[in-house]
Amino acid sequence: MQGFWSTLPRPVMVLAPMAGVTDGAFRRIVAKYGKPHVLVTEFTSTDGLCSPGRGNLLLDFVYSEPERPIVAQIFGNKPENFARTAELLATMGFDGIDINCGCPDKNVEKQGAGSALIRSPETIVALVRACRDAAPHLPVTVKTRLGYHEVEISNLLNRVLEAEPAAITVHWRTRQEMSKVPARWELAQSAVEVVRASGLPTLLLGNGDVQSLGQAHELARETGVDGVMVGRGIYGNPWFFNPAFNDEPPIWQDKLKVMMEHSHLFLEIFGDHKHFPVMKKYYKGYVTDFPGAKELRIEVMEARDIQAVEAHVRAFFAAHGEDLDAPMSPERQPQAAATAMTTATPAVAE
């Protein structure tokens, strides 16, 4: 069942799920300033969601209507827990489910999840089917890698295709390679051929080392993938997916204004549930590539709370004869997002 995936223009552009990054505040900022076709949550444990303490994890699934289509990414290795989680996600109104089969974190792998599933494609098939049987109106997708120790993507794709997922995203590195080598996009065309040969409507998306929207479109043209998933390339630039800017880098004033908006939104959504230091990973992306960035970055990274960060940012603006509270440059204000990618109305598909 393809669901909303069949309604999207090609190439499909997707915000990658990133642990500790793509939370509700970050996704809402991205959706506001340069929305991709699809947004995906941080991955969340199905075992945890089926435990008495699941209430603590549900915060990972906070989303807003402007983010649609919004897909929940989950991890684990027990079909029964995937089925229960799929039922939960359906009641929460998600538009799709993505199964993480690529995370190389050792603690995740110890649970037989993430990249460990590459060694057990029959389990991947069982997990996809468990989700689809439990929530038949939600399209189920898979995110994986080229292989575990070696490249085995053709065999892996053929096995996963047995479950007929709506889409498969391939990060173009093996688990062993981690991020130590450049993403191997040169292998994408042969992977596309494997999926096409199946005769299924399954989409194939590519992921890894994409630094601009223009590059994403070029890679899609060169390789034939149906879409591109972007992760680290969006750090510090929520306008990444907005084609109105032709990959122009944002000016520092706009970056810092959005950084403060993001900070206050984080506080509003998560309050005492997430500690302030979580925000510091975003500051590294916002406070870079402009004169004085290094000094300001040191200050905000040493700050103890959002109020201290704002004081440093206000002082920086004042030192440059600028005002933090002044309107953002006209072309980068939220209404510019109206020129961003056309996204289908989420399908709770027939």
**pLDDT value, residue 335:** 56
Predicted confidence band of residue 289 (pLDDT cuts 50, 70, 90): very high
Which SS3 state, helix, strand or coil, does residue 49 take? Answer: helix
The ranges assigned to domains in the chain are 3-246, 252-328
The predicted-structure confidence for 253-274, as pLDDT tens digits, reads as follows: 999 999 999 999 999 999 878 8
Question: Considering the chain, what percentage of its residues have pLDDT values greater than 70?
Answer: 95
Residues with a known catalytic role: 103
More confident of the two residues 347 and 11 = 11
**pLDDT value, residue 344:** 40
**pLDDT value, residue 179:** 81
Q: Where are the alpha helices (DSSP H) in the chain?
A: 24-34, 46-49, 79-91, 106-110, 121-134, 153-160, 188-198, 213-223, 252-270, 280-286, 293-302, 306-319
pLDDT of residue 47 exceeding 90: yes
Mean of pLDDT over the chain: 93
Average pLDDT in the 5-21 region? 96
For the chain, how long is the longest CA-to-CA vector?
Answer: 62
- Is residue 37 within 8 A of residue 341, CB to CB? The reply is yes
Which residue(s) pair with 230 in the sheet?
Answer: 15
159 to 48, 195, 198, 304: CA distances (angstroms): 27, 11, 11, 49
Sign of the torsion angle spanned by Cα atoms 263, 267, 268, 270: positive
**pLDDT value, residue 341:** 63
The predicted-structure confidence for 177-232, as pLDDT tens digits, reads as follows: 888 889 999 999 999 999 999 999 999 999 999 999 999 999 999 999 999 999 99
Average pLDDT in the 300-307 region? 95
Q: Which CATH architecture has domain 3-246?
A: Alpha-Beta Barrel (3.20)
Distance between CA atoms of residues 316 and 253, nearest Å = 10
Distance between CA atoms of residues 303 and 165, nearest Å = 45
pLDDT of residue 12 exceeding 50: yes
**pLDDT value, residue 336:** 52
CA-based R_g, the chain, Å: 20
- DSSP letter string, 237-267: -TTTT-GGGTTPPPPHHHHHHHHHHHHHHHH
**How is residue 323 written in tokens?**
């005002």
Question: Considering the chain, what percentage of its residues have pLDDT values greater than 90?
Answer: 85
Distance between CA atoms of residues 228 and 217, nearest Å = 8
Contacts (Cβ under 8 Å, ≥6 apart) of 152: 118, 146
- Is residue 146 within 8 A of residue 170, CB to CB? The reply is yes
Average pLDDT in the 167-182 region? 92
Average pLDDT in the 167-175 region? 97
Average pLDDT in the 85-107 region? 97
Identity of residue 126:
A
**pLDDT value, residue 246:** 80
Average pLDDT in the 7-32 region? 96
Determine the angle formed by the axes of helices 252-270 and 306-319, rounding to 10 degrees: 160
